[in-house]
Amino acid sequence: MAELRNRLKDFRVARGLTQEGLARAVGVTRQTIIAIEKEKFVPSTRLALQLARALNVAFGELFSLEEGKGRRS
């Protein structure tokens, strides 16, 4: 099964944003940003698009699908 991967932290740091600053920009908590960066939480489509917009990056550069290590069907 494919898993959602992200480069949120890479782009956030490159843009000089803190987790708190990015969270404020998209209307979520810092804990939400932490969870997304650690891939513990999959953002909604709306939030993912807001993050890409806030970081001025293409959605496909920020998020990608990768095959998981689990069993294949």
- What is the per-residue pLDDT for 70? 57
Tell me the pLDDT of the chain (73 aa) as tens digits.
889 999 999 999 999 999 999 999 999 999 999 999 999 999 999 999 999 999 999 999 999 999 876 554 4
Q: Is residue 46 part of a domain?
A: yes
CATH number for the domain including 14? Answer: 1.10.260.40
Residue-range definition of the domain harbouring residue 14: 2-55
Of 47, 57, 56, the residue nearest 26 (C-alpha): 47
Q: Is residue 68 part of a domain?
A: no
Q: Is residue 61 part of a domain?
A: no
Q: Is residue 27 part of a domain?
A: yes
How far is Cα 3 from Cα 56, in angstroms, rounded to an integer?
23
- What is the per-residue pLDDT for 19? 98
Domain count, the chain: 1
- What is the per-residue pLDDT for 72? 47
Quote the pTM value.
Answer: 0.88
Q: Is residue 67 part of a domain?
A: no
Q: Is residue 60 part of a domain?
A: no
With residue 21 as reference, give the H or E element that holds it: helix 19-26
With residue 6 as reference, give the H or E element that holds it: strand 2-6
Torsion sign over Cα 69, 71, 72, 73: negative
